Amino acid sequence: MHVLPRYPYRRPPELDGLPQDSRPAVVIGGGLTGLALALDLARRGVPVLVLDDDDTVGVRGLASRGMCWAQRTLDIFERLGVAGRITAKGVAWNVARVLAKDQPVTSYTLQDQPDLRHNGFANLQQYYVEQYLVEALQAEPLAEVRWLNKVEHIAQHPGGVRLTVGTPDGPYELDAQWAVACDGASSPCRAALGLEPVVHDRTEDRWIIIDITAPGCGWAQERWTWLDASANGGRAVWRHKMADDTWRLDFQLREDEDAVQAATPEAMRRRVHTLFGEALEFEIAWSGVWAYRHECLEDLRSGRVLFAGDAAHLVAPFGARGGNGGVQDADNLAWKLALVLNHGADEALLHTYSTERKQGALENIRQARRSSRFVHPQGHASARLWREAIIAMAPDCAWAARCINTGRLSNPCRYADSPLLAGGAGEGAALPDVRLAETTSLHHLLGPWFTLLVFGDRLPPALTAVNHPLLTVAFLAPACDALARAALQRQLGVGADSGECWLIRPDQHVATRLAHQFPTQVPAMLARALGSAPTASPLATAHDMHATTA
């Protein structure tokens, strides 16, 4: 069984009275979102300090927690340098099967897209992902992680934030220009600032997670959902495979069921054997009872403090939206905060973080709510009748099968209402990482900041005079150009004409699509994203990053 790493506590220099400058960025919370954000900031040239009140990764031992990583999140991890480890250790899957009252209803393939760099989904326990992020941070000279450093108080002043931090050796104070609270669903930072999230849903519907190791079970690497399973008292069950021959099982509890009793080893073993048979040999790796709620802060920024991950919003784990949403928060915030700190961008740019990621959170809440009502339409008679009709028709009707909603899996948010966009078709969407050759994909062409992606092998004459220090130009060779345009048409619903230019943001979302006759939009869109245009310098052109013919 995997053993969680323990990281050493080191006495902070502030405890010895050593003078310290105000930190540019402090990340509060060394979980998934905080670690991803810190790694992104460090790689963008921002000195970053992470404060965590624990000395290991994960929560409450070997809890799988977030364990289903979506394609978009894998693309982000690719940019951060940890995707290879995640996909090598994790379990790739595409097939989902649904049973209702113990009978097969439908099966379908989820995002089986071989022309994209990463599989639709990869399953890996969250503690592994966090460990890989910590190890990547340890290699970054601009990053520091302080373990067993608990933020006990937070106060804002006009120039930044003052933190009071508790340690095994006593408390100390720390100043920061910006703080990002990634301190979880109960968020002490949120409470200290007197902020209350807006509650969208709160339910007594409860589930028990039972992670089991079962090396000899022989089950397929597929997601299975049982609706109204007789072996679970007419309630739902999910089954996912993870690393180390470990399976994530989610059992929905009855309304009158005692959660403490359900979590006893005897009750859990009986529940698993009732569903899978007495012959199954397994060990329980971890278990936990949860009840879901949906909530989101009205504003993800409060002065010099920003909120990300569960501290900003909570969503039920229908469709793997919690951990994936937190990583996408970090992806959206890192480049904006780096531009404000290091490149003179107006801090109003950070308001767009709140606008865009609140849109993403509310979209996740809407999708999870729909899934939860389909899985268990308690108190919704019309929803139950609808579900029963759909299930009855699904084996023989493709339309009805598509209506079965056991958890629409996480897709990247398209920032349709962002003030950074002009509102054209496809703008705000995440650029899929299309395979261009055996070892090359579309994201390999992108620079670290903004990229002008030219569909063709030369820059339109009107754009050759564009100068900007944060802009890279990348071209698609003819053989790859047609392949990429076809994939983008299928993925985004919009195509690119040969010779068209797309301005790609640092988080790989499409800022705008430009035709030849509108070259002036490039500096205008960049100025819009930055708040103010920096001093011009020669255009950085990525001639060495041309796509090669497959």
Does 461 lie in the same domain as 351? no
Whether 66 is in a domain gets the answer yes
Residue in the block written with tokens 């979880």: 184
Does 130 lie in the same domain as 25? yes
**Of 532, 203, 164, whose CA–CA distance to 365 is shortest?**
203
State which of 239, 274, 293 marks the end of a domain: 293
Is residue 180 classed as helix, strand or coil in its secondary structure? strand
Q: How would you classify the pairing of strands 501-504 and 450-454?
A: antiparallel
The domain tally of the chain equals 3
Direct distance between the N- and C-terminal alpha carbons of the chain, in angstroms, rounded to an integer: 42
State which of 270, 293, 316 marks the end of a domain: 293
Does 284 lie in the same domain as 300? no
Whether 8 is in a domain gets the answer no
Whether 429 is in a domain gets the answer no
Distance CA 449, CA 453 (A): 12
Looking at residue 268, which CATH number applies to its domain? 3.30.9.10
Distance CA 59, CA 454 (A): 45
| pTM for the predicted model, two decimal places | 0.91
User: Angle between the 32-43 and 71-80 helix axes, to the nearest 10 degrees?
Assistant: 40
Domain that holds residue 511: 442-545
Distance of CA 134 to the CA centre of its chain: 17
Looking at residue 514, which CATH number applies to its domain? 3.40.30
Does 208 lie in the same domain as 285? yes
Cβ neighbours of residue 499 under 8 Å, at least 6 residues apart?
Answer: 454, 455, 456, 460, 516
Let me know how long the chain is: 550
Does 484 lie in the same domain as 337? no
Decide if pLDDT at 357 tops 70. yes
pLDDT tens, 242-298? 999 999 999 999 888 888 999 999 999 999 999 999 999 999 999 988 877 888 999
Q: Cα-atom radius of gyration of the chain, to the nearest Å?
A: 24
Whether 112 is in a domain gets the answer no
State which of 271, 293, 315 marks the end of a domain: 293
* Residue 473, φ and ψ in degrees, nearest 5: -110, 130
pLDDT tens, 37-80? 999 999 999 999 999 999 999 876 778 788 889 889 999 999 99
Whether 431 is in a domain gets the answer no
Cβ neighbours of residue 182 under 8 Å, at least 6 residues apart?
Answer: 27, 28, 29, 31, 33, 34, 37, 307, 308, 309, 311, 326
Does 255 lie in the same domain as 336? no
What is the reported pLDDT for 464?
A: 59
Decide if pLDDT at 543 tops 70. no
Whether 3 is in a domain gets the answer no
Looking at residue 47, which CATH number applies to its domain? 3.50.50.60
Whether 24 is in a domain gets the answer yes
pLDDT tens, 191-237? 999 998 887 777 667 889 999 999 989 898 889 999 989 999 989 99
Does 207 lie in the same domain as 79? no
Does 218 lie in the same domain as 241? yes
Does 285 lie in the same domain as 300? no
Which residues sit opposite 201 in a β-bridge?
A: 294
Residues 49, 163 contacting (CB under 8 angstroms): no
H/E run at residue 502? strand 501-504
**Environment class of 370 (CB within 10 Å of its CB; exposed 0-12, middle 13-18, buried 19+):** middle
What is the reported pLDDT for 148?
A: 97
Does 345 lie in the same domain as 466? no
Whether 17 is in a domain gets the answer yes
Does 232 lie in the same domain as 315? no
Does 266 lie in the same domain as 175? no
pLDDT tens, 476-515? 776 676 777 777 777 777 767 767 788 899 999 988 887 6
Distance CA 544, CA 539 (A): 14
